[in-house]
Amino acid sequence: MTSPLRIGIAGLGTVGAAVARIVVEQGEALASRCGRPLVLAAVSSRDHAKDRGVSLEGAVWFPDLVKLARSASIDVFVELIGGEGDPARAAVSAALGRALPVVTANKALLAHHGVELALMAEEQRVSLNFEGAVAGGIPIIKALREGLAANKLARVYGILNGTCNYILTTMEASGRKFADVLAEAQRLGYAEADPTFDIGGMDTAHKLALLAAVAFGNAPALDGIHVEGIARITPHDIVFAREFGFRIKLLGVATRSDGGIELRVHPAMVPLGTPLADVDGVYNAVVAEGDLVGKSVYEGRGAGAGPTASAVISDILDIARGQQLSTFGTPAVKLKRPVIVPMGDHLGPCYLRFTVIDRPGVIAVISRCLADQAISIESMLQRSRAPGEAVPVVFITHEAREAELAKALQAIVAAGVVTEEPCMIRMERF
């Protein structure tokens, strides 16, 4: 049998500790899978003494992860610290610079510095693997980079944030408001104390940037992504969506066309009966559309110690087997910044909810503003009546351009007929 693969793990949070435990406890099964023993050779963490439910005996402790990355005692550097900047970036660079393969679950690092790091890795002919960075335990990077490698992919999209999906699923099941459900999710540990990154859509955007890079062979283009979060979704929207045959999901959508690449993250109406509509709770799902394969769907747990550790270890096993692929599936020297199709050019039907004072003439004003932009209306719904009070009114448009929709909404707000910002949710026809 070949020499053991000596693993150095930086970061012993829940994922790091799970990876360490599996390497230590499932050694024989893993060796059988990759043809050589795996050894936990070194770790780096702030608090070495803390009990993590795994024996770290035999693993050298490095207080400084950059020193771990430079240590001669490891054959692969596993970065589970997170964060786009140092020390994660410095440590990963240090490892790659000395031709040490790297496994990371750090989506921010890859979304911001992916090309630079991929170039280093490929120059040194070592792997930089990041399966754990996107969609937890779903082997979606492997599927796109290897399994579907024969395809020209036209679109990749999905539910990429478990926190948002949990909140939306719970709002639908309970009829409760966003703020209530978020507070509960925080108590249960499904949402961070500062949830901005998740509920604002940035977490999904990081993951979408990486998925699109692998699917389309371009540099991750985080700043080209149109990003909206879920904070403005109300129980009204969820009920209306259901009536129209849809469910509301936070989606990341990347589409390739002749004009370039469209990248968007926002709440969307997904038709009932399609695979994404039934993805509940903390699950993630990704759909890839290829010229040969057609539509293929990948669903599983999007976060958590077990699923992410599963992804990280699969990356380690690939390295143990001697596999070395381009980080994003395409050689890093060929990764160009894509031409971004601006969101104003996006075409699609749309759900618009206005909060209006229930009095004659309001609907006429809104309808006029939409007509002025040549936006045609498929249906209109006002559920409750409360003369003189604020009520929600919903319009579903036919296919419309975002730029025109924005102008119409501006005009409606300027006309003084609404008491709150209008809520706009795009309707997908996947």
Q: Among the candidate windows 69-77, 241-249, 311-319, 355-363, which touches a copy of itself by CB under 8 A?
A: 311-319
414 binds a copy of itself (CB under 8 A): no
Site string for a copy of itself, 93-132 (x = CB under 8 A): --------------------------------------x-
Residue among 334, 368, 383, 398 that touches a copy of itself (CB under 8 A): 334
List the catalytic residue out of 207, 249, 334, 407.
207
Residue among 7, 10, 34, 80 that touches a copy of itself (CB under 8 A): 34
298 binds a copy of itself (CB under 8 A): yes
Residue 162 or 201 with smaller CB distance to a copy of itself: 162
- Minimum gap (Å) between residue 261 Cβ and a copy of itself: 17
Closest among 350, 342, 341 to 373, alpha carbons compared? 350
Question: How far is residue 328 from each of residues 106, 217, 239, 295, 381, measured CA to CA in Å?
Answer: 14, 7, 40, 21, 46
301 binds a copy of itself (CB under 8 A): yes
- Give Cβ neighbours of residue 364 (< 8 Å, ≥ 6 apart): none
321 binds a copy of itself (CB under 8 A): yes
146 binds a copy of itself (CB under 8 A): yes
Specify whether 207 is catalytic: yes
Helix or strand (DSSP H, E) at 183: helix 178-188
State the Cα–Cα distance between residues 220 and 1, nearest whole angstrom.
39
Binding residue count for a copy of itself, defined by CB under 8 A: 59
Residue among 200, 260, 306, 349 that touches a copy of itself (CB under 8 A): 306
Interface positions, 210-229, toward a copy of itself (CB under 8 A): 217
Q: Among the candidate windows 66-74, 146-154, 163-171, 249-257, which touches a copy of itself by CB under 8 A?
A: 146-154
Core vs surface per residue 47-69: b (16+ CB within 10 A) or e: eeeeebebebeebeebeebbebb
Interface positions, 44-63, toward a copy of itself (CB under 8 A): none
Residue among 203, 237, 318, 402 that touches a copy of itself (CB under 8 A): 318
State the Cα–Cα distance between residues 310 and 136, nearest whole angstrom.
8
404 binds a copy of itself (CB under 8 A): no
- Give Cβ neighbours of residue 355 (< 8 Å, ≥ 6 apart): 390, 391, 392, 393, 418, 419, 420
Residue 50 or 295 with smaller CB distance to a copy of itself: 295
Structural contact between residues 115 and 335, judged by C-beta atoms closer than 8 angstroms: yes
* 79 DSSP β-pair partners: 10, 104
- Minimum gap (Å) between residue 317 Cβ and a copy of itself: 5
Q: How many residues does the structure list for the chain?
A: 430
Tokens of 290: 């290829």
Residue 384's Cβ-count burial label (10 Å; 0-12, 13-18, 19+) is exposed
24 binds a copy of itself (CB under 8 A): no
- Per DSSP, the three-state class of 312 is helix
Neighbours of 279 (CB within 10 A): 23
Tokens of 356: 């209006």
Residues taking part in catalysis: 207
Binding residues (CB under 8 A) for a copy of itself: these are: 18, 22, 26, 29-30, 32-35, 131, 136-139, 142-143, 146-152, 217, 273, 275, 278, 285, 290-301, 306-307, 309-311, 313-314, 317-318, 321-326, 329-331, 334
